Chain A
Amino acid sequence: MVKNILIFIVLIGFAVLLANVFVGFKGNSELNTLANHYAVSGPEEVGSANLVTAVVVTYRGLDTLGEVTILFLSAAIVSFLLKIETSASRKRKLRTTSEILDTASKILVPVTLLFGIYVFINGHLSPGGGFQGGAIIASGLVLMLLSQPAKEVSHKLITIVESISGLSFVLIGVAGVIFAAGFLDNTLLSLGKFGTIFSAGLIPVIYIFVGLKVGAELSGIIANLQENQNEV
């Protein structure tokens, strides 16, 4: 009873705090200085048709490196914690899959993987990018593992793709410091014609590496968890 009253009081406190924010809210009719700079001179400076990509990869590239590092850490911790139990010789009782799932996955898995690649290659033109494309690739892997639970996922391949793309991402960033304006500067390559696939300098290259890295990490997490299922 006392606990419920305390919860109620805390909730009312939150409501009062949020009500202040809600009452005092006035929408901005125009962008602030920084956003205005991005919107006005972004297409000229970066050459990316999708402004979100311009901000994520170039203007705030260091934050993207931090996000990728966090994802790498969580993937490493999952495989570290689950590794011990998989090392012993193990038997798994696998459930047979239904005909519908089997047939659907044969068609949908290649299409899903291809769509993921499309999303991160076109990150500078259309909505999406490395993180979204990597997540879509991992979803394709989930579908494949649901229909064929006995399939072995090559952890060596995942490790190699992950390391090479992560290293290339950082090396491109450092090359930007040495040869161009700053970390992850995309003007190492020529900016090209605005709105075409070979434009925005290094952004497509960077996003391909980010997409491969994120896809490999999420696939590694999924594969590790899947291999630990239904052990006898």
Chain B
Amino acid sequence: MIQLIIALFIGVLILIMAVIAIIHKNLVVGIIAAGAVSLFASVLYLLLSAPDVAMTEAAIGSGLSTIIFFYVLNKIKRQNG
């Protein structure tokens, strides 16, 4: 029961972060929110006893793809400004 409540709470957090990632005007905030979606999703996978998927999601989804987005954003900003 307590696990279900935690899972629902994380699900709501994922939804909030996803909405922030879409509608926020500042792209940096959007990228961090998209990374937070992956981080919460990996915790959710761990609760649903899928540690392999959770490791992949934490390392690639919230780690590497966030940093790649920042690199690309930095490059685009320089070329446009």
Q: Mark B9-28, 1 if CB is under 8 A from A, else 0.
A: 00000000000000000000
A159 contacts chain B at the CB level, 8 A cutoff: no
Q: At the interface with chain B, which of A39-47, A126-134, A180-188?
A: A126-134
1/0 contact string of A206-232 vs chain B (CB within 8 Å): 000000000000100110011011110
The secondary-structure label for the interface of chain B is helix
Say yes or no: B55 contacts A128, CB within 8 Å.
yes
Interface residues of B in 44-81 (CB under 8 A from A): 51-52, 54-56, 59-60, 63-64, 67-68, 71-72, 74-75, 78
List of B residues within 8 angstroms of A222 by Cβ: 64, 67-68
With contacts A218-B64, A231-B78 known, is A128 near B71, CB below 8 A? no
Give the interface residue-count category, chain B.
Answer: 10 to 19
Which residues does chain B contribute within 8 Å of A128, judged by CB atoms?
A: 51-52, 55
Q: Produce 1/0 per residue, A106-150, CB < 8 A to B.
A: 000000000000010000000111011001101100100000000
Query: Which of chain A's residues have a CB closer than 8 A to the CB of B75?
Result: 225, 228-229
Residues on B with C-beta less than 8 A from A226 are 71
- Asked if residues A52 and B64 are in contact (CB atoms below 8 Å), the reply is no
Q: A52-B52, A119-B55, A127-B51 are in contact. Are A135 and B63 (CB under 8 A)?
A: yes
A84, chain B: closest CB distance, angstroms: 14
On whether the beta carbons of B55 and A127 are closer than 8 Å, the reply is yes
CA distance A229 to B67 in the complex (A): 12
| B63 contact set on A, CB distance < 8 A | 135, 139, 142
Closest 6 CB pairs of A and B: A127-B51, A135-B59, A225-B71, A132-B55, A52-B52, A135-B60
